[in-house]
Chain A
Amino acid sequence: MNYIALKMLFGDRAKYLMLLCGLTFAVMLIVQQGSIFWGLMIWSQSSISNLNVPIWVTDPGIAQVDEVKPIADTSVDRVRSVPGVEWAVPLYKGLLRARLSNGEYHQIILAGLESSSLIGRPAEILEGRFEDILQPDAVALDQWAVERMGGPDVMKVGTIFELNDRLARVVAIAKTQKSFTNIPVVYTTYERAIRYVPRERRTLSYVLAKAKDGVPVEEVTRRIHEQTGLGAFTAEEFGWKTIGWVLKNTGIGINFGTTILLGFIVGMAIAGQTFYLFTVENLRQFGALKAMGTSTFTLARMILLQAFTVGLTGYGVGIGLATVFGFLTARSGGLPFIETWQLLLLVLVALLAICTFSALISIVKLARLEPAIVFR
């Protein structure tokens, strides 16, 4: 009977294609929007992932990584004294304006790394040597700074610009994850960073730390918090905290959530309606099958097979199209697109729900169908 079910499905080519299009569209929309949403969330905490350190210590009231709440300089030593901490270094992070030689101003994020270790430095360098930021007035840029501050002809190794009326000379260009706000990042040493910025009572933004081998990082963050009163987070915790803040304060979750929900509803409506029409138009045939001895259970199985066959085909095509879209857009770096297995699994569950819903409407109709219809 599976054979008959599939022949019936593929035999009505117009309805099959309509069903397939509806489900493909739903899958593509959900995967595409879900991947862009997740890409944006990853971007929102790129300030954490780009520095690649396991523990972040700062003011306990911090809401997210880009909302800096300076803490006392002594915090570095207090963190170092906590048992289980292998090392702890200061990090300056703040907004500043850069003035280029052509007179243009650009807002930048200044990141000041501890000079002896350069912990938090980007992993990949595209041009120059990152260690050269130890030289006088030297800074490194991320590639987004090059893109946003005039392009590779204007911003390159050797370019000189001003930060708060002080000279800054580009010695390296690093490759980093784009940020949610896409503000360029300028790297220098911690000591030079606090000379660039206007005087403040407190200049330390974060203490970056690492747990000793064999000591769980969660245990060390708990100890840091208990012994210093500061907020201590694993990189993962801080990332989720930042994502949570973005979701709560920007409305982006509602925006993408609505689109994803619409994709789900439209997919369900198209699939449900088309599938129902498919069943209704074949009602006499189903009635004939029932009269000839096919049980309602077998008919239900046939309907489910049809629904899941077209559903899984739509799932494959939809994901394929969304992936091609993602590949093309992510390649240019213009749009974040991160397709995770969790998202694909979620979409599969959503799709199976759509198919089950569509099939159930038809199954209810068939269960109530009197085979006597064939004699009318």
Chain B
Amino acid sequence: MLSRMICLPPPDAAILARKAKILSGLRAMLDAADVIDDELLLRAYETDALTAYRQRPLAVVLPHTTAEVAAVLRYAHREGLNIVPRGAGTSLSGGAVPTADAIVVGMGRFNRILEIDYEDRCVVAQSGVTNLAISQAVAERNFFYAPDPSSQIACTIGGNVAENSGGVHCLKYGLTTHNVLGVELVTPQGEILRLGGRHLDAGHYDLLGLITGSEGLLGIVTEVTVRILPKPQTARAVLIGFATAEGASACVADVIAAGIIPAGLEMMDGPAIRAAEDFVHAGYPLDVDAVLIVELDGPRAEVEELIGRVTGIAGRHGATCCRVSADEAERLRFWAGRKAAFPAVGRISPDYLCMDGSIPRHRLAPVLRAITELSRRHGLRVANVFHAGDGNLHPLILYDANRPGELERAEAFGADILRLCVDAGGVLTGEHGVGIEKRDLMTYQFGPTDLTVQHRIKHVFDPQVRFNPGKVFPTLSRCSEQGREHVHSASVRHAGLPRF
């Protein structure tokens, strides 16, 4: 059942009425085991990592080959059926939540790495291969695939392309879009296209760049070619404590201004530090209001020198403690608290909403102050955990859904934070995607013409508007102005995945 907060487009009654015919049509082109309509089995596909929103689809298909995907999409095109592409279902913005009249195309069976090419430094993988599996496959030769979203043990490379996924290291290594060389794409009409390849740049319009981050609105990616990088010689982390968030923010600005691009530059505020320390005992200082984790990687000589510069800058901004990881175990311990921050906050509050706004770095301190003020005004606690180096905030709003009115207050608080980010010169989402979650706030960031231009691009690929309906763009069925990941301790999907 869908939450009352965000509406998906109402199902087409005529499609629901043709269900039996549609199922037999799908079974004519796929093995019986690859077409799912059993109500119990369908439950696995009714939501993603935005668990507040659930809707059982009409059916799920699990194709094995690109030809099967194309056959299903041609059939759906002919029959006028809605399609919802799905990787591992780890979207934090509801990108894979179906409508009741949709066919979910699950890409889980596209799980093979097709080729590893060390000479041209790329990997060709089917789109259902997990992000981490690519790095693991090339680890023997000391290579890695750079984007590392927190769900990397589960999320698929095809899903990464759809969401343009980031991670803690994108400050230095870029997002998915900077690391994808080519895709095989099946269009909503069932045509198979190859965009890009093992070469660099497009020879014509950059349709590959457009597909990346298009949230499953333009087609289904069946194969991905990514570039791989040699692993850095060494990586070390510095844990720095500050009496105030202002001090930490100023330190972040000065590290960047000093010409240093850390591999990761993360910040946690007082409530997040204490929750994380209680949970994983990472050795964080408890007498501070902010910590930074600065990770530097690369050639040993360079990392040594940069650590000296970073600790110097921290000292000038009144750091109350500054520890440099002595070995790999200590580096991982510094990260343990950060990576456990979301579940740690989950322990101190029955529920939380996770926001994902992105702002110019120099606005960190004033935006944090404004969030604190909003917290007072809405009467709800907030913990801040975020990618400070690239200005990507993840405020966690703490509330208890069992207390009347608190969920509504949390929602209002969350929407205020996203508006605050846009007002500060930022954007609604830095890495989680718009999905259904922030869809209705799009009009706050974009003007009507901006959205019209984007709508037209959607229509170029999908003139019948049947692909991933109800996502990204505000629709007539809009029924709220909210935007958040809603997590209740009892219903967290992929609870074992770290979130950062």
Say if A and B assemble together. Answer: no
Q: B residues engaging A (CB < 8 A)?
A: none
